[in-house]
Amino acid sequence: MRALLKSLKSKPNAADFNSEADIWRQIYSRLRPYWKMVIVAVLLVSVVSTTKPLLAVIMKPLLDDGFTGAKPYYIWLLPLSVVGIMIIRGIASYASSYLLALVANNMLRNLRTEMFDRLLALPDSRFKEGDTGRLLNRFTIDAGTLTTVATDVITVLVRESLTVIALIGVLLYMSWQLTLIVFVMLPIAYLTARIISKRLRNINRGALDMNAELTRVVGETIEGQRVIKLFNGYEREAERFQYVNGRIRRFAMRAASASAALSPITQFVISIAVAAVISIALYQARTTGLTVGGFAAFMAALVQLFDPIRRLANITGTIQKMLAAAESVFALVGSDVEADKGSKQLPTPIQGKIEFKNITHRYPGQESLTINDVSFAIYPGQTVALVGRSGSGKTTLANMLPRFIEPTSGDIYIDDVPASDLQLKSLRLHQSFVSQDVVLFEGSIKENVAYGEYATVPEEQVWQALEAANLDKFVRSLPEGIHTQVGEKAGNLSGGQRQRLAIARALIKNAPILVLDEATSALDNESERQVQLSLERLMKNRSTLVIAHRLSTVQKADRIIVLDEGQIAESGTHDELIALNGIYAGLYQMQFDVA
């Protein structure tokens, strides 16, 4: 648990690179498209605010002239005035709430769209930082908190500020001497709220981090529920969950404690003001002739002043919650996107010549090199296999072809053009990637085979791809054929079927460059045989880079490169490397001895 807490503390906080003024500017910029609706809503909120003091104003004529019978028509005028005021107030309140809700939901939709667009543009390395729970929370919780609270803040600030101003106007009209007492107490209440709000902002930041950690822990539990059951990991996972759950509770209670303390402290300050007002009012009643109606109207306005002041004091805590959520959201929106500095495009069709020239790579924070001065070429239609022990740099090299990983030095050439000079879209247009970790999306078989910009290909072409992937018989046996739903994470398909579905998707793309990253390593012998047949069809007439732990799958490769500690240790055909009796021969012998 200490390690978990340490990792959370080490994560960069958005507050490190966003000042409060920057956050407010970003919020305002997203409200700007709706400024007309916001202005109308503010005007309607102003109507709500100005009607509130009128109820206090009515108290003076009611007590001084109504009950004495001096003005008989007050018997119908004052009740109708109250009803009229409440009708106007109700209509204005409904209309302002509706308009602000419309602004909030439009802003939320656009903000989530902006966040999702930025998410798709993030570099591959960002998704390997283990921040999935935080990313999900930004969409589901933080963005909603930001937009909803932002409009709530507008409502409260405008309504309660105008109400306070109007009520103070009434107080000044009734007795400026008594009002001076209120002016003395208001700054004290404000300073108290300011001190508590700073504490609330820090608490809300910690709560957001822990909510993200809760999402991650629960997500890992769902993903690994079979491992938990088989290895009796109930206690460990329960301990992780209880730790995070307990931390969330503590943050919530600290926030509740700070928020709860704000109201009684503010009310205590105001009660002192009320006590002083009553004392001075009684004195004025004997000396300056303050009437009962005037005092009642003053007290009615003063009592009504407590509630908006309390809301304004509490809104500071709400604003801090909004700012903490905004920091999180804008940290994603402001993230660096995948570098795409290339300006060139590959002509179509391409030849498919690939050259790795003096490639060196070191992961951030590591001292040793992952790849050390590696050079080799794959000629059009040729298959080159990378083999070696785990950690030798095979997958790192493969991920450099589509530029998911950038080399520290050196460059990759496609048809003699540096990959770094190519636009990412052009570079990836000519590549297909099939790995052991097959990614399929919830939807039908057809939607997964004909994916992305290939979604409009004819069904006949989909069937041809499935046939070439040795999957057509299975799909035809399904009640809905290619329109059968694969389920969440393709749970309705076996490992071999998922693999062949990914091969069919690569066949639809028909790219001249193919990367196979251990595409059969997780399969049983029968599934491997079927997938291998599909792969051989896929590899035909394509420049193919194969990464394999099972050496039986690369024996037919035109060239096998053996990597050891990031360097090329051996290179040649299968027979040449066996005759060399080096690392490859040792690995091959080891596998077949085990078999």
Average pLDDT over every residue of 337-354: 87
For residues 125 and 92, state if they share a domain: yes
Average pLDDT over every residue of 545-571: 87
pLDDT at 496: 81
Query: Could you tell me if residue 342 is inside a domain?
Result: no
For residues 354 and 325, state if they share a domain: no
Average pLDDT over every residue of 188-202: 69
130 sits in the region (left: phi over 0; alpha: psi -120 to 50; else beta) called left
Report the alpha-carbon distance of residue 315 to residue 317 in Å, rounded.
Answer: 5
Asked if residues 290 and 175 have their Cβ atoms less than 8 Å apart, the reply is yes
Q: Tell me which residue of 243, 236, 250, 235 sits closest to 214, measured CA to CA.
A: 243
pLDDT at 193: 66
For residues 359 and 320, state if they share a domain: no
For residues 359 and 399, state if they share a domain: yes
pLDDT at 389: 85
CATH of the domain at 376: 3.40.50.300
Question: Of 448 and 229, which is predicted with more confidence?
Answer: 448
For residues 240 and 137, state if they share a domain: yes
For residues 213 and 325, state if they share a domain: yes
Q: Show which of 333, 358, 376 is a domain's final residue.
A: 333
Cis link prior to 187 (omega < 30° from 0)? no
For residues 38 and 157, state if they share a domain: yes
Residue-wise pLDDT tens digits, 276-295: 777 777 776 666 656 666 67
For residues 354 and 319, state if they share a domain: no
H, E, C per residue of 33-62: HHHHHHHHHHHHHHHHHHHHHHHHHCHHHH
For residues 28 and 163, state if they share a domain: yes
Query: Could you tell me if residue 533 is inside a domain?
Result: no
Average pLDDT over every residue of 7-36: 67
Query: Is residue 363 scored above 50 in pLDDT?
Result: yes
Query: Is residue 8 scored above 50 in pLDDT?
Result: no
Average pLDDT over every residue of 550-558: 82
Question: Of 436 and 67, which is predicted with more confidence?
Answer: 436
The pair of three-digit structure tokens given for residue 176, joined into one six-digit string: 């400026």
Domain count, the chain: 2
Q: How far is CA 290 from CA 224, 261, 285, 295, 338, in A?
A: 76, 36, 5, 7, 73
Query: Could you tell me if residue 190 is inside a domain?
Result: yes
pLDDT at 82: 79
Average pLDDT over every residue of 92-99: 89
Question: Of 183 and 391, which is predicted with more confidence?
Answer: 391
* Coil, helix or strand at residue 517: strand
pLDDT at 595: 41
Residue 48 structural domain: 17-333
CATH of the domain at 35: 1.20.1560.10
Query: Could you tell me if residue 530 is inside a domain?
Result: no
Q: Show which of 298, 333, 368 is a domain's final residue.
A: 333
pLDDT at 378: 94
Q: Show which of 285, 307, 333 is a domain's final residue.
A: 333
For residues 259 and 381, state if they share a domain: no
- Arithmetic mean of pLDDT over the chain: 80
Residue-wise pLDDT tens digits, 120-159: 888 887 777 656 777 887 888 888 888 888 878 878 888 8
pLDDT at 30: 86
Query: Could you tell me if residue 33 is inside a domain?
Result: yes
For residues 326 and 392, state if they share a domain: no
Kindly report each contact of residues 316-319 with a partner whose C-beta sits within 8 Å and lies 24 or more positions away, as own/partner.
316/193, 316/194, 316/196, 316/197, 316/200, 317/196, 317/197, 317/200, 317/255, 317/258, 317/259, 317/262, 318/149, 318/152, 318/153, 318/156, 319/149, 319/153, 319/197
For residues 377 and 322, state if they share a domain: no
Enter the pTM of the model: 0.70
Residue-wise pLDDT tens digits, 108-120: 888 888 888 888 8
Q: Tell me which residue of 436, 387, 396 sits closest to 591, measured CA to CA.
A: 387
Question: Side by side, which strands form the sheet with 409-414?
Answer: 371-378, 354-361, 409-414, 417-418
Query: Is residue 439 scored above 70 in pLDDT?
Result: yes
Q: Which residues contact 554 (CB under 8 A, 6 or more apart)?
A: 385, 387, 546, 548, 560, 574
Q: How far is CA 249 from CA 180, 219, 355, 462, 542, in A?
A: 43, 20, 56, 52, 57
Query: Could you tell me if residue 361 is inside a domain?
Result: yes
| Percentage of residues of the chain with pLDDT beyond 90 | 15
Residue-wise pLDDT tens digits, 463-477: 988 888 888 888 999
Query: Could you tell me if residue 70 is inside a domain?
Result: yes
Q: Tell me which residue of 364, 527, 356 sits closest to 436, measured CA to CA.
A: 527
Q: How far is CA 217 from CA 131, 220, 240, 243, 514, in A?
A: 11, 5, 7, 11, 36
Query: Could you tell me if residue 164 is inside a domain?
Result: yes
